[in-house]
Amino acid sequence: MDTTTIALLGLAALFAGCIDAVAGGGGLITLPALLAAGLPPMEALATNKGQSTWGSTAALVRFAGTPLLDRGMAPWAFAAAIAGSVGGVLMLRALPNEALRPLVLILLLGAALLVAAVRPKPRTAAVRRPLWWSLATAVGIGAYDGFFGPGTGTLMILVFVLLWHQAYDAASANAKVVNCASNWGALLLFAGMGLIHWPIALTMGAGQLFGGWIGAHLVIRRGQKLVCILAAAVSLALAARIAWQVFVD
Number of domains comprising the chain:
1
Burial 176-201 (b: 16+ CB within 10 A, else e): bbbbbbbbbbbbebbeeeebbbeebb
What is the Cα–Cα distance from 249 to 237, expressed in whole angstroms? 17
Determine if the pTM surpasses 0.85.
Answer: no
35: pLDDT confidence band, cut at 50, 70 and 90? Answer: confident
Domain of residue 176, residue span = 3-247
Q: Name the more confident of 57 and 23.
A: 57
The pLDDT of residue 191 is: 94
| pLDDT, mean of residues 217-244 | 69
Under a CB-based contact definition with an 8 Å cutoff, are residues 184 and 52 in contact?
A: no
Under a CB-based contact definition with an 8 Å cutoff, are residues 227 and 33 in contact?
A: no
Under a CB-based contact definition with an 8 Å cutoff, are residues 44 and 31 in contact?
A: yes
pLDDT above 90 as % of the chain: 33
**Where is average pLDDT lowest: 96-100, 152-156, 178-182, 215-219?**
96-100
